[in-house]
Amino acid sequence: MKENLNPFAIAQAQLDEAAAVLQLDPDMHAFLREPMREFHFTIPVRMDDGRTQTFKGFRVQYNDARGPAKGGIRFHPDETIDTVRALAAWMTWKTAVSDIPLGGGKGGVICNPRELSQGELERLSRGYMRNIARHIGITQDVPAPDVNTNPQIMAWMLDEYETLMGWHEPGVITGKPLPLGGSQGRTPATALGGLFTIREAARVKGMTLNDTTCAIQGYGNVGGNAHQLAAQFGLKVVAVSDEFGAIYNAHGLDPKVVSEHVRRTGKVINCPETEEISNSELLELPVEILIPAAIENQLTGQNADRVKAKIVAELANGPTTPEADNILNDKGVYIIPDFLCNAGGVIVSYFEMVQNGYQFYWDEGMVTERLDRKITTAFQAVDAMSLSKKVDTRVAAYLVAVDRVAEAVRLRGWV
């Protein structure tokens, strides 16, 4: 039977499993299965050649019982509303499992930013903000960068928002450039948080991280930073990939060499002293740590039985399908679920909001220390839940998160 790879159906199925273990009230379960509100809109953009091209955009505010919605904005040619819904749901559980006072949201635009000039990209970014400005703010919904968006795009969106509103509100967007109220340590935060959880998972597995082999799928901000930071945690990265292909060197890949090659060519392939392999081969390498840091549905029922890693650290959102989950768990693989593993970004985004509110900014050492403490506490809560309820780590993460959100919903009297 073919797997259902619709990301929102997967997110709902994961919630359903946790709801059964929690014996969640049926009315509460039904409420938590759907987004609280969605916005669909079109964005007309004047192109450099004088044409007007219309783009489709979305913003989903999945649940804000614990605080303002929080979540990134993706620019991707294959964006769909179901992907945005799933990511907004996962953001809800991510902020809850991290125990920060925020809800979950997500946004997206169907576009290929590689085909846009800087001017077109700026006009698209400002057009997106004009559509959502009335529905966001530090007390409503706080966007951030995600796939194919960056601090410059956040700067344009912040400026458009403040121009429309007529006042300064730096906390309305996180992931901003430092001169506009960004936080030290925000750029590597997702990768660094994931590496902290790998450190903790290795302790649980009784592994010593010393020259431990690792493969990273995806070489954007998250995967690239994971490669840059990996050696600090005792990891030897032997393979990395991007959308164009993958490279391998059994002796390890020098992050400076690879990043410089990517800066010059835009791709990891053809990097000096590497062997080109396929993306599917990367996922099945005999490494101890596998880091999916690309897009959804990469580990499936078709390839999970060939995964050889002892730990799968999901720095991407939704990289493992439910069927693959079952296979990997049966094999004894320790999965660090996505909304725990990649929570470093939203944790430091929350720190950015706090700093914006106080107009007092921390140094990177303080940000890193507080990130370590916050995500380690979250990991320990999930691992303890897994042991006490005798469930896998993904279900355990859902149990922690869903229980916290459901409690807030009950206290508010919504259900």
pLDDT per position as a tens digit, 73-97: 999 999 999 999 999 999 999 999 9
Residue 325 is encoded by which pair of tokens?
Answer: 């989950």
Taking the CA atoms of 8, 146, 223 and 340 in sequence, report the sign of the dihedral they define. negative
Q: What is the CA radius of gyration of the chain?
A: 20
Look up the pTM and report it.
0.93
DSSP string computed for 324-346: HHHHHHHTT-EEE-HHHHTTHHH
Q: Which pLDDT score is estimated for 2? A: 57
Close Cβ partners of 28 (under 8 Å, ≥ 6 residues apart) = 406, 409, 410, 415
What is the residue-averaged pLDDT of the chain?
A: 95
Mean pLDDT value across residues 360-369 = 97
CA distances 273 to 89, 246, 276, Å, are: 42, 13, 10
Q: Which pLDDT score is estimated for 88? A: 96
pLDDT band at 302 (very low <50, low <70, confident <90, very high): very high
pLDDT per position as a tens digit, 389-400: 999 999 999 999
Q: Decide: helix, strand or coil at residue 143.
A: strand
Q: Contact 279/245 with Cβ under 8 angstroms?
A: yes
Q: Contact 110/58 with Cβ under 8 angstroms?
A: no
Mean pLDDT value across residues 187-215 = 94
Share of the chain above pLDDT 90, in %: 93
Amino acid letter for position 12: Q
The full set of domains in the chain, from first to last, is 37-172 (3.40.50.10860), 189-341 (3.40.50.720)
Is residue 356 predicted with pLDDT exceeding 90? yes
pLDDT per position as a tens digit, 35-72: 999 999 999 999 999 999 999 999 999 999 999 999 99
Q: Which pLDDT score is estimated for 4? A: 63
Locate the DSSP E strands across 132-172.
Answer: 141-145
**Of 106, 176, 310, 374, which residue is the catalytic one?**
106
Of 2-11, 177-186, 202-211, 293-302, which has the strongest mean pLDDT?
177-186
Q: Which pLDDT score is estimated for 3? A: 63
Mean pLDDT value across residues 338-355 = 96
Q: Which pLDDT score is estimated for 411? A: 98
pLDDT per position as a tens digit, 221-271: 899 999 999 999 999 999 999 989 999 999 999 999 999 999 999 999 999
Share of the chain above pLDDT 70, in %: 99
Annotation says 374 is catalytic: no
How many whole angstroms separate alpha carbon 135 and alpha carbon 137?
Answer: 7
